[in-house]
C-alpha cells in the first residue's frame, strides 16, 4: 500500500520519480510489484510462458494495482482494458538505467557529438525485449512523459526517469511499434506546458500540429549544432 499522498500524486500526474513507486521492489516478504494504469480493469503478472504468477489487487485509487511475487524471475503484465481488450507486455518500470555513463557525462558537459543516436526515440532490444527508448533533455522539468495514441495521450502512463546528473529524462517502452506517433508532456514549475514535439525526431507528421513518429528513419544519426557553433544541446525542452 502506498501512502495516500503518493497515491494522490500518481493520480494528479505530479510524480517525477515513478521508479521509486512503480515496478518491482524488494521487501522482506518478497518482491512487491506495483503498476499504475488508469482505465485498466484488472492486471495480472505472468511468466514469459504465459503462466499466472499473481493477480494484482486494486489499491486506493483507480488504476493502481499491486501484488507480491514469490521469486525474482522475469514477468510480464496481462492488462484487461475496457471493451474486452487484453494487452500483454513487459513493465516499463522493470528496466534499469538506459543511457550509458559516457553518454551522460558528454551530455552534462554539452559535448555530445551524436545526439541523434543518444536522444529522441531509438528502436532497440533490451534484455531480449523489442521496443523504443526515449530520451529528452529537460533539466528544469518536474515531470516528463511520453504520450501518444498508444496510451490515450495520458501523461500519467509513461512517466520518464530523470538522470539528474545530466538533466536528461529516459524511458524504454516495450513492444512499441516503430512509427508510433508521440509527443512529450512536461510539467514545469508553474504547471503543464503545451505538448512538445521531439527536437531530435527522425520523422514527423504534420496535421494541425506536428507530432513525431517513433524512430521512423533508421539510416543513421544526425548532428545537432548549438548556436555557438559546436555540437551540443541547442535548446532544452525546459531549461
Tens digits of per-residue pLDDT, 14-57? 999 999 999 999 988 889 999 999 999 999 999 999 999 999 99
Are 108 and 35 found together in one domain?
Answer: no
Q: What are phi and psi of 93, to 5 degrees?
A: -95, 15
Domain that holds residue 27: 4-93
Residue with cell 521508479: 19
With respect to residue 166, please indicate whether it lies within any of the assigned structural domains: yes
Collapsed DSSP state (helix, strand, coil) of residue 169: strand
Are 151 and 76 found together in one domain?
Answer: no
With respect to residue 237, please indicate whether it lies within any of the assigned structural domains: no
Are 100 and 81 found together in one domain?
Answer: no
CATH number at residue 67: 2.60.40.10
Kindly report the CA angle at 210 between 207 and 213, in degrees rounded to 5? Answer: 105
Contact 232, 136 (CB under 8 A): no
pTM of this structure: 0.87
Lowest mean pLDDT among 77-81, 154-158, 182-186, 198-202: 198-202
Closest by CA to 34, choosing from 69, 67, 81, is: 67
Q: Tell me the sheet residues that pair with 205.
A: 211
Lowest mean pLDDT among 65-69, 123-127, 190-194, 213-217: 213-217
Residue 215 in this model has a pLDDT that exceeds 80: no
With respect to residue 232, please indicate whether it lies within any of the assigned structural domains: no
Amino acid at each position: 500500500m502506498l501512502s495516500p499522498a503518493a497515491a494522490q500524486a500518481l493520480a494528479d500526474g505530479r510524480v517525477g520519480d515513478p521508479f521509486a513507486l512503480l515496478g518491482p521492489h524488494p521487501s522482506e516478504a518478497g518482491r512487491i510489484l506495483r503498476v499504475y494504469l488508469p482505465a485498466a480493469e484488472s492486471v495480472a503478472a505472468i511468466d514469459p510462458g504465459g503462466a499466472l504468477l499473481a493477480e494484482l489487487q486494486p489499491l486506493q485509487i483507480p488504476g493502481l494495482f499491486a501484488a507480491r511475487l514469490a521469486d525474482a524471475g522475469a514477468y510480464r503484465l496481462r492488462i484487461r482494458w475496457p471493451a474486452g481488450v487484453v494487452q500483454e507486455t513487459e513493465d516499463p518500470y522493470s528496466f534499469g538505467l538506459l543511457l550509458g555513463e559516457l553518454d551522460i557525462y558528454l551530455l552534462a558537459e554539452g559535448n555530445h557529438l551524436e545526439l541523434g543516436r543518444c536522444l529522441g526515440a531509438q528502436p532497440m532490444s533490451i534484455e531480449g525485449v523489442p521496443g523504443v527508448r526515449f530520451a529528452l533533455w529537460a533539466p528544469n522539468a518536474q515531470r516528463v512523459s511520453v504520450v501518444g495514441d498508444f496510451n490515450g495521450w495520458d501523461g500519467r502512463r509513461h512517466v520518464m526517469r530523470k538522470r539528474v546528473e545530466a538533466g536528461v529524462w529516459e524511458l524504454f517502452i516495450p513492444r512499441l511499434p516503430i512509427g508510433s506517433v508521440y509527443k512529450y508532456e512536461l510539467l514545469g514549475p508553474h504547471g503543464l506546458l503545451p505538448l512538445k514535439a521531439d527536437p531530435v525526431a527522425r520523422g514527423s507528421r504534420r496535421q494541425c500540429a506536428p507530432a513525431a513518429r517513433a524512430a521512423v528513419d533508421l539510416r543513421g544519426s544526425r548532428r545537432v549544432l548549438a548556436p555557438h557553433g559546436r555540437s551540443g544541446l541547442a535548446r532544452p525542452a525546459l531549461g
